[in-house]
Chain A
Amino acid sequence: MNTPLRKVGIAMLVMVVLLLANATYIQVVKADDYRTDSRNLRVLYEEYSRQRGLIVTPDGSALAKVDPSNDKYKFIRTYADGPMYAPVTGYYSINYGSGGLERSEDDVLNGSDPRLFVRRLSDMVTGRDPRGGNVKLTINPAVQKAAYDLMTQKGYTGSVVAMEPKTGRILAMVSTPSYDPNKLASHVGKEQIAAWGQWRDDPKKPMLNRAISETYPPGSTAKLIVTAAALEDGKTPDMPVNTAPNVKLPGTQTTLENYGGAACKGSTLKEALRYSCNVPFAELAGELGKEKLNATAKNFGVGEDLTVPMRVAGSTLGPLDSKAALFQSAIGQRDVRLTPIQDALLSATIANNGMAMKPQLVQSLLAPNLSTIEDYKPSELTGDAAMSSANAAILRDMMLASEENTKGAGKRGDIQIASKTGTAEHGNDPKNTPPHAWYTGFAPAMDPKIAVSVIVESGGNRGLEATGGTVAAEIGRAAVNAMLGGG
């Protein structure tokens, strides 16, 4: 019986060799596939135990940092002024992953960025716990706070974006109502789940970053694009315009009318922008045509793929496939959709002599020891100016006139703002739905330091009577004042 026993012994050997070969296949050959499978939560969990980097403002104060925690994750993410900065920082949650900047700059924050490789290696040798790099933002806390405080104080749903026209640096990015990312970072599972569920089911969508992820009809702020295109086409601010209270849309029986159905108070292009008459711009757009409008809009950034580094939703003028469409699109209705950040880019581009700068939220990436890994340099968005600097100056003067005509609180004699308001109809029954109130502008008009755009959804607290001037202007001016006037 020894012969078969020996053979069984060999069979046993073969069985173990088979197991070893299969284990080699899984743990060596296929290991990376399994390790990085999106359904394998281990790597994610691993990261939560690492000392994640900070998100800091230019003056060095931390918006997101880690505190030591006594559980197995070792560290807990905490956010200073969570709701105010949530659209900027995003969130970092064990159950729900990450969002916003936490996600876009994840590689640096968690320390896996290749540029941190040497440091990781030395951490490994010295036995020091690996740490993530830091992200320094372009945010100006004063502007952010002024805008956020006023928006929440009034109970507005909407967004405020402010940027530096010459560099594209984002000074403020506010979205209200907001949420507190601290609750999602909590290590208490129940708290995370409750917070997430509450915000997900909230019809006001507090976790939506309205500044970059939502598009709206821009209303009369779109007239800036039409005006720029017209000036580039050789029109002058003094050109006479149609003062009729309404105009029939070509090829239809529908009419397009001025605000309140009134005749235009001015008879030149400049006056038309000042009083935001609709008829002249509709006719102007019809005359300019699709190509010219699109070309100008493109250099303002409309339709560009923007990342700040979070992905920005696409803005568009729509198909513009008929004269009627051109008429309606001229006043920021029909299929025109802009993100608030794109709306801010309109003012910023005019302020920067017609050249759009790429918006950026990250000033620099820092290693854990605060040495710089990468400094972001301002760059031109498309490389082509939306208009000549002479035309930009003309448009600036037209916006100064518009600001002069715009009501609302927050005006200061010492700060000269160039602006444009917008009141955008939306919804299935536009005439009976409170309009979106817009305000976009820059200051100081002669040496722009800040460009801002404000949208207050559905009329804020003014209902159907809301206009960009009465609702949104005050907030835009507060942001400008915080930057230039010390609050």
Chain B
Amino acid sequence: MSTPLADPASAQFATNPPRELPTRRGTELVLLAFATFIVTIALVLVEANQEQELTSSIIWLGLSYLGVLTAAHLAVRRWAPYADPVILPCVALLNGLGLVMIHRIDLALAERAIQQGKEYTPDVTKQVLFTAISLVLFVVVLVVISDHRTLTRYGYICGLVGIVALALPAVLPSSLSEVNGAKVWIKLPFFSIQPGEFAKILLMIFFASFLVTKRDLFMVAGKKIAGVELPRARDLGPILIAAAACLGVLVFEKDLGTSLLFFGVTLVMLYVATERIIWVVLGVGFFAAGAIIAYNLFTHVQQRVRNWIDPLATYDDAGGGYQVAQGLFGLGTGGVGGTGLGAGRPDMVPEAKTDFITTAIGEELGFIGLAAMLMLYLILAMRGMRSALAVRDTFGKLLGGGLSFALVMQIFVVVGGVTNLIPNTGITAPFLSRGGSSLLANYILVALLLRISDAARKPAARPKPQQPQAPLAEAHTVMVQRPSANGEGSAS
């Protein structure tokens, strides 16, 4: 553990021998190679089971995936050298499996199209393109946001842009915003985006920066009603307005899944900031009331609930449990071990490439594969949460906690929905599902998590080597240090 960089002169002032924290970038590279290996094997299995000719192109595909990831890895090495080494490999594996699964369903749908004498354009090429774009954006975020604390300056702007982005599809005419009944799109001439995916991150930045500045007010100021201390309306105002706005927008857009996601994340961030469970209790209470009202007002909510109680009973209804039932059939057929990659029939489930891609994994890789996938998400989110715990600024803690929780919340809503644990609401599985917006947004999310983890693991005193490292001063230094100073220091 001794390090050649340790300055013998300064060592006498340190209570602990100065040591260089390992960056663990080597670990990351090995894990990335491992992820690529698994993805390549998965691709080989699909091709073999689908009776495609095994060609050397698979190896090239595997190598190019490794190449793209190596570029991302090098970017992390350069711009976030102390970032958590497990996060990127987890994402690489999930994204790779998603690509293989989309390719696999493409093959099945293409064959069906040939039988019916129709044309079919595979989705996977587009998704590969989006992966590349996402990784570029990922690097851009790492470079531009050299310190996550700079984001606090743009909290309100983020909030405003987020709400506008979220509300835009609801305001736009259906011809520009509706795809398959969900009014959550902005359709541009060459591509479409789901602004809600990006609003998710913008709003989390807003909540985090807002709560950091106001958390003291939440905890002390305000009246006490029935033993509960409530903050003053003017302190709570912006957050209530923001929350109400997103929920309202989402109800009008009929996007229940995203609404559930926003709600959960807002509640968790509020709880972390105030350290009071009463917020969760109040929130759940509001949610229950809102759910009951929504159930009574909207027929599509009632239908969802009926489908949830027994998807097989409403199998034949219009808007009934057909889709969920097909997903359950797939999961049941897969059983514990799965049918094998490329040997199942996941294409029989409608929307198998987007919302129901997790049932495709459950069918072909079985419970074992599905559980492994859930564990990957859990590891990813837990590494994020660890970074949030370790990072020294409250904004970083709040944002890191929120982003980590958002990952698990998304997977809970989508997997819970397709496995009938909760009513099914359309939402994408991060990194797995087809869809550019979701992929881009989640890569940005991960870039932010990496930035926070880098800040958490970066040795705080390194920027100014001349200054003796006084043990107790260390923590306080971070609190008063200006963000820009830290950023310059690490870049030098």
Within 8 A of B (CB), among A20-50: 20, 22-24, 26-28, 30-35, 37, 39-43, 45
Contact B345 A28 (CB under 8 A): no
**Is A12 in the interface zone, CB < 8 Å from B?**
yes
Give the residues in chain B near A43, CB-CB below 8 Å: 333
CB of B488 within 8 A of chain A? no
B332–A187 CB distance below 8 A:
no
Q: B51 is contacted by which of A11, A23, A41, A72 (Cβ under 8 Å)?
A: A72
Number of interface residues of A (CB under 8 A): 41
Interface residue B314 (Cβ < 8 Å from any Cβ of A): no
Interface string of A422-462 (1 = CB under 8 A from B): 00000000000000000000000000000000000000000
A153 located at the interface, meaning its Cβ lies under 8 Å from any Cβ of chain B in the complex: no
Among the stretches B288-296, B394-402, B446-454, the one at the interface with A is: B394-402
User: Min CB distance, A2 to chain B, in Å?
Assistant: 5
Of A5, A13, A27, the residue contacting B331 (CB under 8 A) is A27
Interface assignment of A189: CB less than 8 Å from any CB of chain B: yes
Q: Which of A16, A31, A45 contacts B345 (CB 8 A)?
A: A45
Do A1 and B398 have beta carbons less than 8 Å apart?
Answer: yes
Instruction: Report how far A2 CA is from B348 CA in the complex, Å.
Output: 46
Q: Are B325 and A23 in contact (CB under 8 A)?
A: no
The digit string for A1-14, where 1 denotes a CB below 8 A from any CB of B, is: 11111101101110
Q: Which residues of A contact B377 (CB under 8 A)?
A: 16
Q: Which of B75-122 contact A (CB under 8 A)?
A: 111, 115-117
Given contacts A13-B378, A20-B374, contact A42 B330 (CB under 8 A): yes
Q: Are B312 and A1 in contact (CB under 8 A)?
A: no
- Asked if A22 meets B421 with Cβ closer than 8 Å, knowing A16-B378, A42-B348, the reply is yes
The reply to whether B345 and A5 form a contact with Cβ atoms under 8 Å apart is: no
Cα(A151)–Cα(B116), bound, Å: 37
Chain A nearest Cβ from B292, distance in angstroms: 23
State in angstroms the CA–CA spacing of A5 and B401 once bound together. Answer: 7
Tell me which of B111, B332, B389, B404 contacts A26 (CB under 8 A). B332
Write the chain B residue with the least CB distance to A2: B389
How many residue pairs between the two chains, A and B, have CB atoms under 8 Å in the bound complex? 140
B333 touches A8 (CB 8 A): no
CA distance A9 to B334 in the complex (A): 31
The answer to whether A121 has its CB under 8 Å from any CB of chain B is no
Q: Does A19 contact B (CB under 8 A)?
A: yes
**Given A4-B271, A8-B401: A39 touches B325 (CB 8 Å cut-off):** yes
The 8 Å CB contact of B334, one of A5, A24, A27, A187, is A27
Contact A28 B367 (CB under 8 A): yes
Query: Does B35 have its Cβ within 8 Å of any Cβ on chain A?
Result: no
B415 within 8 Å of A by Cβ? Answer: yes
B116 touches A190 (CB 8 A): yes
Q: Say yes or no: is A370 at the interface (Cβ < 8 Å to chain B).
A: no
Q: A5-B385, A72-B50 are in contact. Are A16 and B374 (CB under 8 A)?
A: yes
Q: Which stretch in B162-170, B405-413, B461-469 binds the other chain?
A: B405-413
Q: CB < 8 Å: which of A5, A20, A30 contacts B371?
A: A20
Interface set, chain B 241-255, CB cutoff 8 A to A: none
By the criterion CB–CB under 8 Å, are A34 and B332 in contact?
A: yes
Q: How far in angstroms is the closest Cβ of chain B from A188?
A: 7
Q: Is the CB of B335 within 8 A of A27?
A: yes
Q: Could you tell me if A5 and B397 are in contact, using CB atoms closer than 8 angstroms?
A: yes
CB distance from B254 to the nearest CB of A (A): 24
- The answer to whether B335 touches A28, judged by C-beta atoms less than 8 angstroms apart, is yes
Contacts of B328 in A (CB 8 A): 26, 30, 34
- Within 8 Å of chain B (Cβ to Cβ): is A202? no
Q: How far is the CA of A33 from the CA of B420 in the complex (A)?
A: 15
Among B312, B333, B348, B398, chain A packs the most CB atoms within 10 A around the CB of B333
- Minimum C-beta distance from A455 to chain B (A): 40
Residue B315 at the chain A interface, CB threshold 8 Å: yes
User: A262 an interface residue at 8 Å Cβ cutoff?
Assistant: no
Q: Within the complex, what minimum Cβ distance (angstroms) separates B278 from chain A?
A: 12
Q: B359 CB to closest chain A CB, in angstroms?
A: 10
CA distance A4 to B404 in the complex (A): 14
Tell me if A4 and B408 are in contact (CB < 8 A). Answer: no
Q: Please measure, in the bound complex, the distance between the C-alpha atom of A28 and the C-alpha atom of B382, giving whole angstroms.
A: 27
List of A residues within 8 angstroms of B330 by Cβ: 42
Q: Which residue from chain B places its CB closest to the CB of A29 in the assembled complex?
A: B332
Residues of A within 8 A of B135 (CB): none
Set of chain B residues within 8 Å of A16, measured between Cβ atoms: 374-375, 377-378, 408, 411-412
Instruction: Tell which of A6, A19, A28 has the most Cβ of chain B within 10 Å.
Output: A19
* Inter-chain contact B370/A27, CB cutoff 8 Å: yes
Task: Decide: A9 and B385 in contact? CB cutoff 8 A.
Answer: yes
Query: B205 an interface residue at 8 Å Cβ cutoff?
Result: no
Q: Which residues of A contact B204 (CB under 8 A)?
A: none
- Inter-chain CA distance A349–B210, complex, in Å, is 95
Distance A34 CA – B272 CA, assembled complex (angstroms): 41
| A13 contacts across to B, CB distance below 8 A | 378, 382
Q: Which residues of B contact A26 (CB under 8 A)?
A: 328, 331-332, 419-420
Quick one: which of B370, B375, B398 has the most chain A CB within 10 A? B370
Are B415 and A19 in contact, CB atoms less than 8 angstroms apart? yes
**Contact, CB under 8 Å: B116 / A189:** yes
CA distance A34 to B374 in the complex (A): 22
B62 in the interface, Cβ–Cβ < 8 Å?
no
Please tell me if A288 contacts chain B, counting CB pairs below 8 Å.
no
Residues in A with CB closer than 8 Å to B315 are 39
Does B350 have its Cβ within 8 Å of any Cβ on chain A? Answer: no
Say yes or no: A23-B362 contact (C-beta < 8 A), given A12-B404, A39-B315, A42-B345: yes
A12 touches B367 (CB 8 A): no
Per the 8 Å Cβ criterion, residues 361-393 of B in contact with A are 362, 366-367, 370-371, 374-375, 377-378, 381-382, 385, 388-389
- Residues from chain B with a CB closer than 8 A to the CB of A72 are 50-51, 111
A15 within 8 A of B: yes
**Complex partner residue of B272 from A4, A35, A45, CB under 8 angstroms:** A4
With an 8 A cutoff between CB atoms, is A238 at the interface? no
Q: Shortest distance in angstroms between B45's beta carbon and chain A's nearest beta carbon? A: 15
A19 & B374 in contact (Cβ 8 Å cutoff): yes
The complex places the Cα of A4 from the Cα of B272 at a distance, in Å, of 5
Q: Which residues of chain A have C-beta atoms less than 8 A from B331's C-beta?
A: 23, 26-27, 31, 34
- 4 tightest CB-CB pairs across the interface, nearest first? A34-B332, A40-B329, A27-B367, A22-B421
A residues with a Cβ closer than 8 A to B are 1-6, 8-9, 11-13, 15-16, 18-20, 22-24, 26-28, 30-35, 37, 39-43, 45, 71-72, 187-190
Sample 22 A-B pairs with CB under 8 A, ordered by A number: A1-B272, A6-B389, A13-B382, A16-B408, A22-B420, A23-B331, A23-B362, A23-B367, A26-B419, A27-B362, A30-B332, A31-B334, A31-B335, A33-B332, A35-B329, A35-B332, A37-B329, A39-B312, A40-B333, A42-B330, A72-B50, A187-B115
B interface residues, Cβ below 8 angstroms from A: 50-51, 111, 115-117, 268, 271-273, 275, 312, 315, 325, 328-336, 344-345, 348, 362, 366-367, 370-371, 374-375, 377-378, 381-382, 385, 388-389, 394, 397-398, 401, 404-405, 408-409, 411-412, 415-416, 419-421
